[in-house]
Structure 1
Amino acid sequence: MTYDPAPPTRHLRVRLDRGHTVLEFHGEIDIVAALEITPYLDAVTGHPEPQIVIDLRPVEFFDCSGLRLLYRARSRVLDRGGRLHLVCTRPLTLRVLKVTGLARLLPPSASLDAALGQPETTSGTL
């Protein structure tokens, strides 16, 4: 896989860690942030068998636009035979993930080490 890092933006940092592309979301993840993040998300999830981690720990606010980003990433990664892991520790964001059922499809881990140490659940359904 060719690695084309995203330029630093207000809402996204991208790095490699243990063979995974880590997308670290920052600040308020709303429609404006989603418009900024989507091109980079699509680029890294467009490769065969992408290995992706989305880290939501630096997120301060997360609305339905953020949920759409996660659903989009999950769908694209699974369609290409890859793996997607989620890292999240903020209680309000965890609550949104649980209430919407996304936590069953994409179980959040408390750290990057924990996320990379467990297999992804790929067979969950809503």
Structure 2
Amino acid sequence: MRITQGQFSFLPDLTDEEITMQVQYALDQGWIVAIEHTTDPHPRNAYWDMWGQPMFDLADAAGVMMELGDCRQANPNSYIKILAFDSNKGFESIRMSFLVNRPAEEPGFELVRAEAAGRQLNYTIRSYATAQPAETRYR
């Protein structure tokens, strides 16, 4: 199962050249770029680990790509995404977010059913990856 989160998630994985072009576009807009990673890609998991600090005042995508390379080397079996934050008044939010790294195998999610009061059924999803400790996921 292929995780589809953020921009471009229904397209084939972006090449490093394509990632560089997207990052350069974000920098040209004056947006602040950051890199995050996780082993739990649940759609409601908004708290991914940030790699380093947000990259303020960059003009060239090469700096971001260098940090991305370091993050990929340290977390080869994690989901990694690039974010671009627009700090201009009126926006002050993420304007761009896309995955740039995936584990070789994506186990997907299971639908969990729980019975509640009366005949009510509640459903939620759970990532198969979370069945293992964080340090052993995606090996």
TM-score class, shorter-chain normalisation, is under 0.3
Structure richer in strand, relative to its length: 2
Larger Rg: 2
More relative contact order, 1 or 2 (CA 8 Å, 6+ apart): 2
State the TM-score, normalizing by the size of structure 1: 0.28
State the TM-score, normalizing by the size of structure 2: 0.26
Structure richer in helix, relative to its length: 1
